[in-house]
Homo-oligomer: A and B are copies of this chain.
């Protein structure tokens, strides 16, 4: 078991990573004696709910099982959670436990953020993506017909338990989608970690506990360091440190929007976005063609897509990228690389190079 502390002054909290944590009563010492409620979904409940309820000494009625799936990441679902907590008369000392993937974590975190103006919550992420991404940073929220995560809040958990055992039940495609985000951390902030991933990718793919623990730990550590510099993504008008975490995401969002958020998993779209960002960085002469090729190869070896969906055009990319949250005053800013491990936010790049990247990736 490894443990790290996310340093955010009075909102600091520990992340513990290892095998079997969710069923281990000792892991919940931080909230001993407090009234707890738990939210999970219909996929996760049959697998882990009983273990967690037992470890926390809770009854079945203390858990709310929500329908699984991104399409339920809506205000209506959060309202259901709020009504349920109010009906149970949970007071401001209460704690909400989120057991599940990113959708459950985002919704339960948001419910905790706005329940009686904010109560504590615990994250038990059961997907690799949630363990390395949504469990650090305090972003919570729901989707709106006009966009993903348009309604939400920053609300830090009190504790995160990343149980590597839970990943054994994860569909392979979702495991790979999580690995895309792990690769992202290496590409954006740590060339040694990137090298380690090149060496240990196969161990990750067979769910070796030590490799997983190390990969999750380092990903969380890198993200936590960035979040500590820019907790609310408010520095430099959104182009500060935290924006670096969006490496691959602007291209990725375009793919997700184009495919209606149904065919591609977020991590898959990010994977292709990472490859495209590396390609553009190389075209700009900001990183070597060899390093860009290493990025492409690692993504491909993980069984992740390295090309956008067939039929997507450069024009569609530009149009969909123009609607990205990271567009300031009409100017397209991208997260690019000055080498592996050295991401930068820039709106000041040759637009012809971007056009060349888009053409390269969309040619049939």
Contact = CB atoms under 8 A, between A and B. Distances in A.
Interface of A: 75, 79, 82-83, 86-87, 91-93, 110, 113-118, 139-141, 144, 146-147, 149-154, 232-233, 237-238, 325, 327-328
A34 to B, nearest CB: 11
A167 to B, nearest CB: 28
A82 B118 contact: no
A150 B116 contact: yes
Contacts of A83: 144, 146
A91 B75 CA distance: 20
A5 B68 CA distance: 47
B152 A92 contact: no
A110 B117 CA distance: 10
Q: How many copies does the complex hold?
A: 2
Contact of A151 (B114, B154, B232, B327): B114
* 3 nearest A-B residue pairs (beta carbon): A86-B146, A117-B152, A114-B151
Contacts of A153: 113-114, 117-118, 153
A117 B141 contact: yes
**What secondary structure prevails in chain A residues at the interface with B?**
mixed
23 contacts: A75-B75, A75-B79, A83-B146, A86-B146, A87-B146, A91-B325, A92-B238, A113-B153, A114-B141, A114-B151, A114-B152, A114-B153, A115-B150, A116-B149, A116-B151, A116-B325, A117-B140, A117-B141, A117-B152, A117-B232, A117-B233, A118-B232, A153-B153
Contacts of A233: 117
B328 A86 contact: no
Contacts of A152: 114, 116-117
B118 A150 contact: no
Given A92-B238, A115-B151, A144 B328 contact: no
Contacts of A117: 139-141, 149, 152-154, 232-233
A93 B327 CA distance: 11
A147 B149 CA distance: 27
A147 B92 CA distance: 13
